[in-house]
Structure 1
Amino acid sequence: MASHLIQGRTVGMPVRVEDAEVCSAFYTVRADAARAVIAYSGLDVAEVFPGKAVCVLLFVDYREGDLDTYHEFGMAFLIRRPGAKGTVGLRDLREAGMFVHWLPVDQRFTLEAGRRIWGFPKELADIELRLGSPYKRCVLRKDGRLVLDVLIRPGLPVPAAMAPLDAYTHLEGVTRRVPWSVRAGGTRIRPGGALIRLGNHPIAKELSELGLPKRALFTSTVSRASMTFGEAEEVRTV
């Protein structure tokens, strides 16, 4: 079985998360603007509507897992899988992958593990999560500057589901595919459902150039999630 040595600890593969709470907001943004943001990766966004891509903002409370407990914020885009032909519309999003553009965390062990094992663009940040009430809130600061303050209102319950996904990363000139599966329980979804305030950090400016703040396409909250992350594979994008 493959393993990695991180800060003197052996991390076996696949990496497992036993319990996490996940909140997400999905936004439609101009496809040309999104392409400009992720151009460095060599990947292409999925146009779920003509001229429109999807930007995903998410925050996670990892409560039990191989990489310990920590908070995480993610900025990602739905992409066409490398080599895929044709377009990816709203009805066939399972054909899309998720490119992780930025992934701040608040603990050093998961920071090093994420970067070394999978090439996730993890950075240290101050992530304040308020998940004890029906309204889920994340306040994210980096280098003392506010990046964003986002509030998500849970919607209607939907059945539990398990979904295999492909996450894509790019770090130090290398693009990778990360097999990722999620089992979600306690899931709620609603149209719209997010309030967002941007700060003065460069990522906030990037989000502003994508058209945020605006009404979310939809939001989701998952009160009980388990995940597995497989070994990363290098991807040729040319």
Structure 2
Amino acid sequence: MTASHDILGRTVTMPVDVRDGSSATVIFDVALDAARSLAPPGFEVTESAPGRAQVALALIDYRDNDLGSYLEVGTILFVRPEGGGEDGTFITHLPVTEEFTCVAGNRIWGFPKSVEQIEVTNTDTTSRWVLTMDGQLVVDVTVPRGGSDEMPPLPMAAYTLIDGRPHVTRFTQGGSGSGVHLGADVALTLGDHPIAKELASLSISPESVVLSTWTERMQARFEEPVPL
């Protein structure tokens, strides 16, 4: 039986498809203990090297999506369930620009979405994202834009808490016009908002960027969440 959800008077049928969008990801190298302080109960942070971990900033422009067109900025930990299990992601904050996807993301998957101000300025070679919350700057980040690689749909796992219970959502993401860029080309400014201070506690900076990725024409599919 196909799962469906009633969201603000509209029926969302699973899976949810993203047919077109652009996405960037910035990967930072951070201290393992700092990342652990932000991890949810029941999960352990994946160690990338002795005493080190990685966190990510995801920047997505959804142009054609079952949940509508909107912008999204995500702050992401790499985790696995305590005691062993599949490596996956845990999103700590997920600001978006539209109400419907905010409600759907919270109710269906437990994603921590909120409606905020996101401004994007693209050039042929860069993409600048400015996230403002409660009238305060959270992050101002500029990433390299462009690439010519094809990225086949990659299966991944996203962990969330729904009513306090851990769930896993299987999803795939791929696309074309993809490129991987070394960290020197990322510009980053953190503001004074509490989430900015949370990011600052990780000591992220342009110098801590491992790499960034860009996909000009991204597709994705999100399945129904499953309790662990």
Q: CA deviation at 1:162?
A: 1.8
- Name the CA distance, whole Å, in 1 between partners of 2:145 and 2:83: 36
With over 3 angstroms needed to count, the CA separation of the structure-2 counterparts of 1:185 and 1:81, relative to structure 1, is: farther
Deviation of 1:82 (Å) = 5.0
1:200 aligns to 2:201 (yes or no): no
CA distance in 1: counterparts of 2:169 and 2:120, whole angstroms: 26
TM-score by length of 2: 0.93
Determine if the alignment matches structure 1 residue 103 to structure 2 residue 94: yes
Hey, what's the Cα distance between the residues in 2 that align with 1:200 and 1:133?
30
Q: Per residue, is there more strand in 1 or in 2? A: 2
The root-mean-square deviation of aligned C-alpha atoms, in Å, is 1.6
Paired residue secondary structure (1:160): strand
In 2, the alpha carbon distance for the partners of 1:112 and 1:70 equals 13
1:223 corresponds in structure 2 to 216
Partner of residue 70, structure 1: 70
Report the counterpart of residue 209 of structure 1 in structure 2: 201
Which contiguous aligned blocks of 4+ residues in structure 1 show a shift greater than 3 angstroms? Answer: 154-159
Alignment partner, residue 22 of structure 1: 23
- Alpha-carbon distance in 1 for matches of 2:21, 2:198: 28
How far residue 190 of structure 1 moved from its aligned partner, in angstroms, is 1.3
Q: Which of 140, 144, 153 is equivalent to 1:153? A: 144
Counterpart Cα distance in 2 of 1:131 and 1:121? 26
Contact 1:155 1:190 in 2 (8 A): no
Q: Deviations over 1:85-131 (max 9, x none)?
A: 7xxxxxxxxx6211111101010000000000000000111011123
Q: State which of 113, 116, 138 in structure 1 corresponds to 2:129.
A: 138
In the alignment, structure 2 segments of 5+ residues that lack a partner are none
Contact residue 45 and residue 53 of structure 2 kept, 8 A: yes
After superposition, the C-alpha distances for 1:159-212 in whole angstroms (9 at most, x for unaligned) are: 422200001112542322111101221101011131100000011101111012
Answer yes or no: is the 8 Å Cα contact 1:157–1:189 preserved in 2.
Answer: no
Letter in 2 for 1:189: V
1:78 Cα deviation (Å)? 1.2
Matched length: 225
User: CA 1:41 to 1:130, structure 2 compared with 1: closer, same or farther past 3 Å?
Assistant: farther
Residue 155 (structure 1) shift: 6.4
Corresponding residue SS for 2:38: helix
Instruction: Note closer, same or farther for the CA distance 1:110–1:156 as it changes in structure 2 (3 Å cut).
Output: closer
SS of equivalent to 1:112: helix
Distance 2:200 2:191 in 1: 10
- Give TM-score, length-normalised by structure 1: 0.90
- Alignment-derived partner of residue 59 in structure 1: 59
CA pair 196-2 structure 1, distance change in 2 beyond 3 A: same
State the identity %: 37
Structure 1 contact 152–219 (Cα < 8 Å) conserved: yes
- Say if 2:190 is the partner of 1:189: no
When structure 1 is superposed on structure 2, of 107-116 and 214-223 the one drifting more is 214-223
CA distance in 1, matches of 2:148, 2:52: 28
Kindly provide the CA deviation profile for residues 10-46 of structure 1, in whole angstroms up to 9, marking residues without a partner as x. Answer: 10000111001001100011111101111x3321111
AA aligned to 1:54 is: Q
| Paired amino acid for 1:118 | W
